Structure 1
């Protein structure tokens, strides 16, 4: 306290107040604290990024580990290594899987074609999964369903999940496919899904099959049960006895609408990796099945089906008002539909 007291003049006493901390010192302490805070935050962020980078690196390493060096690099976008949540692929974890979708219309031979594919040891085609309206109610539902199928988490009698080399399903054009085609095309291209178009050249025969199948849903001609596909000639003969009556007035327009639907599908999905098949060609030339196996990247095998064709021979035997139909289509671009276009 003594140094804080001094004599200014004789008889005058001046007391000096205590020294205060300089403002610059307080600012320095504040800056130091801020720098330390920033440093600590940056260290935490680096550690977090390091963990994320390690995670991504591990995924990439696993993917590289599973890929065969002998595989053509151009095929890489179409090869997948699914990691199902419902089971483990075990020794087949590094077997690549190709994804496909059969785009077709009802009664175009898609059921028969799918049984042929499923006779292959390594192919799983899971049926008409979007026949359920709930699964196709919106794009989110569609994508969620597709993810389950392509991740091998979809189970039915056709599933060969552990060692599947190709997995897919059949999708009818009137099951939300055309409504959401832009989003679906983007999904197919992003995921490397290969598209198999399967149509019927003779749309009149398709019409007969559609009408007969629709009738049997209510009539249930086979001992009170409805069957869209049969495995015996006796069953086929029973179902073929029904002869549908075709509306000859709207027949040409109806055929044009079916034709347009197929053409629209081909146009909408033209940017995908695809192959175009026709039912009649598959029946007459079984080597087409070799092309299909090559397209979906599976080893060549002899494909078989137990299904039996229902409407055989001339259409005149299967249409009630054949004379009207014959007269209506004569001289039109659809006249060839009146002929038998395959041997059985």
Structure 2
């Protein structure tokens, strides 16, 4: 693939720069034109560890993972806008804070399932296959923990527990402890149904993109077995490095201390296929 394609008019460049908050790159990648680049996308769900995982990838000298490109609704309004945005990313036409000055060996971003990915899955899968985009699925095994994280993060958007500032990710144990003091109350009546819905969405996404070159990862496995990161680097054709992240896990230890109506939740999940979610724990 070529390193830089400048096919846009000045008006188009100005529009994209304003809407996407990106700086258009006018030649930084030219020196890397003959450098093979692996294109990738991290397909995940909110509060599944994708932010932490992306910081690990960006800790690699030769990786540029550019965040949630499709968090902006205009970029996912229809299939055409999605393809247009994908071209901007994969043609290396733009810079974000994750862009490296070195010749990148892998370039991509993270994409949440509810950001147009499922709605336009056929067009996106075809694009991935045509461009040779490798897919990294990243999910959580313990969906109850994900639910706690989603509810707590949603609460903090309004409560702003850290000195009036909302933070989805933190870099100190003090900040993590402050955020973890909020205990969400989970709807026990719809809990099993809600967990099943999340589970089905994961399975559906994997099926939709089964034709792509892909790798399925789980947050818990990455936490417990850091050799999984070496597998990821080999999958992306990268020189292997020890990767690290400054992010600190917010909800540590037993879930019983993070859910307000724990007794109800414990009673609801006992004897179900989700009973293991009550006791599964890991450290970070």
Q: Residue 142 of structure 2 corresponds to which residue in structure 1?
A: 202
Q: How does 1:34-183 map to 2 (within 5 A)?
A: 80-85=1-6, 86-88=25-27, 89-160=29-100, 163-183=103-123
CA distance in 1, matches of 2:65, 2:130: 20
1:275 aligns with 2:215: yes
Deviation by residue 1:92-123 (Cα, 9 ceiling, x = unmatched):
22111110000000000000000000000010
Q: Distance in 2 between matches of 1:199 and 1:208?
A: 15
The Cα offsets for residues 214-249 of structure 1, whole Å up to 9 and x where unpaired, read as: 000000001111000000011000000000000000
Deviation at 1:162, TM superposition (A): 5.3
TM-score, length-scaled by structure 2: 0.91
1:313 aligns with 2:234: no
- Correspondences of 1:197-276 after superposition (within 5 Å): 197-276=137-216
Deviations, residues 39-78 of structure 1 (Å, cap 9, x unaligned): xxxxxxxxxxxxxxxxxxxxxxxxxxxxxxxxxxxxxxxx
Once superposed, what is the RMSD of the aligned Cα atoms? 1.0
How far off its partner does 1:342 sit?
A: 1.4
Q: Distance in 2 between matches of 1:161 and 1:274?
A: 27
The normalised TM-score by structure 1 is: 0.76
Instruction: List per-residue Cα deviations over 1:111-158 (Å, max 9, x = no partner).
Output: 000000000001000000101110000111101110011111232211
Which residue of 282, 301, 309 maps to 2:241?
301
Question: Equivalent residues in 2 for 1:281-296 (5 A)?
Answer: 281-296=221-236
Give how far 1:341 is off: 2.7
Between the two structures, name the one with larger relative contact order (CA 8 Å, sep ≥ 6).
2
User: Over residues 289-329 of structure 1, what are the superposed CA-to-partner deviations in whole Å (9 max), with x where a residue is unaligned?
Assistant: 00000111111011110000000000001000000000000
Deviation, structure 1 residue 82: 2.5
Aligned residues: 265
Counterpart residue number, 2:9? none
Distance 1:152 1:218 in 2: 36
| 8 Å contact from structure 1 (residues 326, 338) kept in 2 | yes
The runs of at least 4 aligned residues of structure 1 exceeding 4 Å deviation read none
- Name structure 2 gaps, 5 residues minimum: 7-24
